[in-house]
A and B are shown apart, each in its own frame.
Chain A
Amino acid sequence: MNPIDFSVLLRGDYPRMIAQGLATMLELTLVAWVLAMFLGTLIALARMTGNRLAQGGAAVWVEYHQNVPMLVQIFLWYFGIAALLPAGMQVWINRNSGEFIFATVAISLAMSAYVSEDIRGGIRSIPKTQLEAARALGLSYFQSFRRVVLPQALRIALPTLVNHTVLLFKGTALAMTIGVAELTYATREIETQTFKTVEIYLFTTIVYLALSLVIMAAGSVAERRWAVPGR
């Protein structure tokens, strides 16, 4: 095998393709993460209300998204649900990079199920007496939840939330299967054009690994910084 020569990645159009891939990957990760956190919190709350309809709906949501492969969910959105939309909307979506939109939707919905379970677990681990004490001090139900229960619950849920953030980040690579030009997609393109498999694969692997390690490290810093005292 020839010696490894990364300079091939700097030739011609490749730097632009890599930069584009990196940008799309980060955009997909960020948008999907924010959506997943928001939806996940809503679903966790829906599951803890007294309303049976909300509880049941949230439970079905979580089970569906956790028990179907993310790749299949992406296909169902991109090929299946897209075809059910009204014609005008289909045209609009196709003009506005539909594959990116559907990948974002599929990944964020899938991860919202995991996030909601993390948050629910965190909330359940806070003893009921905390809420009662806050209420006794004169806080409203909403205030005691937001100022007493949730801050502790989120800290307890932090390790699993960080794990699932890494999973979401890794999951964005699946978007390549429907043609989203993120990093893995760009990697494959460059590989078929140059046959410099080792160089480009090594580069991409290092990027993914480095970013995953950054997420994990940020998570453990946050865990230490905001540890619930006495736990």
Chain B
Amino acid sequence: MGDIIAILREHGPLLLVGQYPNGPLGGLAITFVLSVLGVALALPLGIALALARISPFRWAYWPATAVVYLMRGVPLIMLIFWVYFFLPALLGRPVSGFSTMLVTLVIYQAAYLAEIVRAGIESLPKGQTEAARAVGLSYMQTMRKVVLPQALYNMVPSMLSQFVSTIKETSLGYVISVHELTFAANQINSTLLTKPFEVFAILAGIYFVLCFSLTQLARHLERRVSRRRAGQTVGVTPQALATPIPATAE
């Protein structure tokens, strides 16, 4: 325990902000920035994919379905390698590790978010769409003004747990030397050499505190949402609405 406190006192700043202000920002700060930007940019893409997945148009359904299955079937680390090698070739200029990781996370998370959004839309009673169409709204208006606002509200807990998954996935930035939290811990480990257990226990502890608090928040919101839905819609069983929180383990 004494060792852990000593390491934290000595190397705490590296874990939190990297070499900032004497160097680039890193550590937990970069982990957090990557995760927030990743989910924020993945959400619109995910909604677009979800709409394509439930659309009656084949030209929209097939490509979107292919993308979703590709992302669900290939390890994130392979996707990182693809982006790492081909994004610079595509843009014709060097790309930083941070941008590589961000692009990867956005594509990967968009596929998972698309499945969440799709489930959210499909769990709404059909009467909502029918009523909206009956009062004269177009398909797009129905989606934008009636279906999506409700579906997205119900999906907030699942999206939050997808955010937790994203935080965990940023640890793979280590593989392409993005200066995030896991990378910082490895740096400390190779400086100290003799305290690997302490260093990696600290690393696990930091991720745990961050992710566990967010998971608890997601559970709290989940209960609130399902209570609200149970009160709102008469005749729909609450069990059918309580979707389990999906998670990706990486």
Contact in complex: A208, B200 (CB < 8 Å): no
| A110 touching B249 in the complex, CB below 8 Å, given contacts A68-B208, A69-B207, A72-B182 | yes
Question: CB of A6 within 8 A of chain B?
Answer: no
Contact A208 B196 (CB under 8 A): no
Q: Do A80 and B200 touch across chains, with their CB atoms under 8 A apart? A: yes
Across the interface, A213 reaches (CB within 8 A) one of B73, B172, B244, namely: B73
* A-B residue pair count with CB separations less than 8 angstroms: 133
Contact of B249 among A81, A82, A111, A121 (CB under 8 A): A111
Q: Knowing A83-B197, A201-B81, A213-B73 touch, does A170 contact B250 (C-beta < 8 A)?
A: yes
Cβ < 8 Å to A, chain B residues 180-222: 182, 185-186, 189, 196-201, 203-204, 207-208, 211-212, 215
Q: Judging by beta carbons under 8 Å apart, are B248 and A167 in contact?
A: yes
Q: What is the minimal beta-carbon distance from B18 to any residue of chain A, in angstroms? A: 17
Considering only residues 74-118 of chain A, those with a C-beta below 8 Å from chain B are 75-76, 79-84, 110-111, 114
* Residues A171 and B244 in contact, CB atoms below 8 Å apart: no
Interface string of B162-183 (1 = CB under 8 A from A): 0010011101101100000010
Q: State whether A76 touches B172 (Cβ < 8 A).
A: no
CA separation between A170 and B73, bound complex, in Å?
Answer: 7
Q: Considering the complex, give the chain B residue whose CB is closest to the CB of A64.
A: B208
Partner of A81, one of B69, B168, B197, B207: B197
Find A67's partner among B82, B164, B250 (CB 8 Å cutoff): B164
Q: Report chain B residues within 8 Å CB of A72.
A: 171, 182, 200, 203-204, 207
Q: Are A208 and B247 in contact (CB under 8 A)?
A: no
Inter-chain contact A184/B77, CB cutoff 8 Å: yes
Interface size class of B (residues with CB under 8 A): 35 or more
0/1 interface trace, chain A 7-43, chain B, CB 8 Å (1 if under): 0000000000000000000000000000000000000
Q: Which residues of B contact A205 (CB under 8 A)?
A: 74, 78, 82
Is residue A160 contacting chain B, with contact meaning CB distance below 8 A? yes
* B125 proximal to A (CB < 8 A): no
Determine the residue in chain B with the shortest Cβ distance to A66: B247
Q: Which residue of B has the minimal Cβ distance to A204?
A: B78
Q: Does A176 contact B (CB under 8 A)?
A: yes
Assess whether B207 is in contact with A209, with CB atoms less than 8 Å apart: no
A173 close to B (CB within 8 Å) = yes
Q: Is the C-beta of B48 less than 8 angstroms from some C-beta in chain A? A: no
- Chain A contacts for B70, CB-based, 8 A: 209
Is B144 located at the chain interface by the 8 A CB criterion? no
Residues of A within 8 A of B (CB-CB), count: 48
Are A68 and B74 in touch, CB under 8 angstroms? no
> How long is the Cα–Cα vector from A126 to B203 in the complex, in angstroms?
39
Question: Does A194 have its Cβ within 8 Å of any Cβ on chain B?
Answer: no
Does A55 sit at the interface, judged by CB under 8 A?
no
Return chain A residues, CB-CB under 8 Å to B69.
209, 213
Q: Which residues of A contact B250 (CB under 8 A)?
A: 69-71, 167, 170-171, 174
Q: Does chain A have a CB within 8 A of B85?
A: yes
C-alpha spacing A185/B200, complex, angstroms: 23
B196 touches A163 (CB 8 A): no
B44 interface contact, C-beta 8 A: no
User: Does A63 have its Cβ within 8 Å of any Cβ on chain B?
Assistant: yes
Given A201-B78, A204-B78, A212-B72, the answer on whether A73 and B189 have CB atoms closer than 8 Å is no
Residue B246 CB within 8 A of the other chain = yes
| A139 on interface, CB distance cutoff 8 Å | no
Contact yes or no, B201 A173, CB < 8 A: no
Complex contacts, B208 vs chain A, CB 8 Å = 63-64, 67-68
Q: Measured between alpha carbons, how far is A14 from B69 in the docked complex, in Å? A: 29
Interface string of A187-201 (1 = CB under 8 A from B): 110000000010001
Contacts A68-B211, A84-B197 given; does A173 touch B75 at CB 8 Å: yes
B124 contact set on A, CB distance < 8 A: none
Measured CA separation A20–B247 after assembly (Å): 31
Task: Identify the closest chain B residue to A84 (Cβ).
Answer: B197
CB-CB nearest 6 A-B residue pairs: A212-B73, A173-B75, A80-B197, A67-B211, A69-B168, A69-B171
- Kindly list 17 other residue pairs between chains A and B, CB separation below 8 angstroms, not including A173-B78, A205-B82, A209-B74: A67-B164, A67-B168, A67-B208, A68-B204, A70-B250, A71-B171, A72-B200, A72-B207, A79-B197, A79-B200, A174-B75, A174-B77, A174-B172, A174-B250, A205-B74, A212-B72, A216-B73
Interface residues of B (CB under 8 A from A): 69-70, 72-78, 81-82, 85, 164, 167-169, 171-172, 174-175, 182, 185-186, 189, 196-201, 203-204, 207-208, 211-212, 215, 244, 246-250
